[in-house]
Structure 1
Amino acid sequence: MKIMGLDYGDRRIGVAVSDALGWTAQGVETIERRRDESELLRIAELVQEHNIEEIIVGLPKNMNGTIGPRGEICMEFAEKLKLQLNLPVHLWDERLTTVSAHRTLLEADVSRKKRKQVVDKMAAIFILQNYLDSKSKR
């Protein structure tokens, strides 16, 4: 069963997809957000292309565990996805995934310009991999 992980940001959506066994997450692309919400169409295309059966959306929580305005926006997005794609959509705590993505890219000596292009995709990988790891421990 293939699973898609999404890092839903203000400007871009990072996309990652699991392997068929649900062990590893690979980055797919970064989707630019548009006012017409055409990003939903691109996500639907990727769901078809990769035979996705489940979607994980990163939920940005505050460090104390509460959900702020950004988290509420992500919850609304997850609900839209669920209704439009008719697939299970789960929210996953994404605290510090973007920080981890930046740190990993810095350690790999990726230029600032390249980091900006891939950080959202890398954050989606972290979100999905954390979810996959939690499932394998059960």
Structure 2
Amino acid sequence: MQNRVKKQTRILAIDYGERRIGLAVSDPLGITAQGLETLSVSCPQDALSKIEQLVKTFRVSEIILGLPVNMDGTRGCRAQEVSGFAERLGKRTGLSVTLSDERLTSVAAHRILHRMGLKIKDKKRDVDRIAAQMLLQDYLEKYSNRGGRDAR
């Protein structure tokens, strides 16, 4: 008898900052986003290796990468750097990397952490992870309103 259980995959979201990379992953059904760890960006190659490892561990099928767009909608130097990282990440993992406007996700993450009463040291560690989680949750909700992940 053939196994008819469909393998469920996840989406990985990345908030690529100057010093840290925040990570979040969806549940297998694509309903909720859970924050993962925050990586140091001291060496982008090490970050790529760690992300590649997470892709395998969580059976990720798609990657969402926050694109730092200016408030007027233009793309600056930072957006070009992130686009280059997206290209390298796609080649390394063999997965589609979708760039998603991340305007104000870090600001919103700071507000959440402030309301939680965390110290500045703790906020720095957590803000990128929470920004990635918010980016992913927004993405999941956007597509769940269009008939789920298969609608993409």
What does 1:36-47 correspond to in 2, within 5 Å? 37-47=45-55
Mean alpha-carbon deviation: is it higher for 107-116 or for 88-97? 107-116
Residue 19 of structure 2 is matched in structure 1 by 11
Structure 2: give runs of 5+ residues left out of the alignment: 1-8, 147-152
Question: C-alpha distance in 2, partners of 1:31/1:114?
Answer: 14
Deviation at 1:38, TM superposition (A): 0.9
Give the letter for the 1:76 counterpart: G
Residue 91 of structure 1 is matched in structure 2 by 99
What does 1:1-138 correspond to in 2, within 5 Å? 1-35=9-43, 37-138=45-146
Q: Report the aligned-residue RMSD.
A: 0.9
1:3 counterpart SS class? strand
Question: C-alpha distance in 2, partners of 1:95/1:35?
Answer: 25
Deviation at 1:49, TM superposition (A): 0.8
Question: C-alpha distance in 2, partners of 1:60/1:133?
Answer: 20
Question: C-alpha distance in 2, partners of 1:133/1:79?
Answer: 25
Q: TM-score w.r.t. structure 1 length?
A: 0.97
Structure with max Cα Rg:
2
Structure 1 vs Structure 2: percent identity of aligned residues? 47
CA deviations over 1:62-113 (Å, ceiling 9, x no partner): 1111111111111111111111100011000000000000000001111111
Structure 1: give runs of 5+ residues left out of the alignment: none
Count of residues in correspondence between the two structures: 138
